Amino acid sequence: MSPPRARFSDAEIRMYGLLNRAVRDLVVANFGESTWDKIRARAGLAESRFQAMEQYPDSVTYELVGALCEETGMTADQALEAFGEYWIQYTGAEGYEHLLEASGDTLPEFLNNLNDLHTRVALIFTHLSPPSFLVSDETEQSLVLHYFSHREGLGPVMVGLLRGLGARFNVDVVVEREVMQRTDDNRVHETFRVAWNGA
């Protein structure tokens, strides 16, 4: 099953090609170039590669994920979680390691600095429409991460991202998706309880 479509029109919110390139590289790394070609065909895309700094309609990314699920048998949640986990490695390898390093030396420090990270990223990707975050209920080995987004259905990406960050900081992470609701301005608001151990 494909993830839900973004609520906003393509003219209002677009994703940068770097995201779609990461989807491609994830597929090629795990399933091979021929599977990517099949996924691209299912999604109705003529081009095989994406320009990192070019903006693409959200629908392109959603179609890619849907085609990935159809071709591989993965569920939407599995595909999105895998992408989230891969994204942490991918952005570091693609030249954005300095942004990750500047965002914290520990997992809780990094999570508390997510909004600042996106502010810095927006200096490069000037039309970025990122989610926003809030940390609450913080203890020595757990916290609740609040995620706010104008996009539908991407909560599983956060699960993968949090696991990828756990690997980055060499801690064992357990993530529980707890609540999804709407804000007054109709954004998605999801909460994730994040617990970790190790150092």
Higher pLDDT, 146 or 59: 146
- What's the number of CA atoms in the CB half-sphere (13 Å) around residue 36? 18
Third-level CATH fold of 105-197: H-NOX domain (3.90.1520)
Is residue 14 very low, low, confident or very high in pLDDT (cuts 50, 70, 90)?
low
| pLDDT of 170 strictly over 90 | yes
Q: Average pLDDT of 128-151?
A: 93
Q: Average pLDDT of 113-137?
A: 89
Domain ranges of the chain: 14-74, 105-197
The pLDDT, as a whole number, for residue 153 is 87
Express each pLDDT in 67-85 by its tens digit.
999 999 999 999 999 999 9
The pLDDT, as a whole number, for residue 35 is 96
Closest by alpha carbon to 2, among 56, 77, 55? 77
Q: Average pLDDT of 32-52?
A: 88
Rounded Cα gap, residues 22 and 36, in angstroms: 12
The pLDDT, as a whole number, for residue 5 is 39
Q: Average pLDDT of 17-30?
A: 91
Cβ atoms of residues 160 and 85 within 8 Å? yes
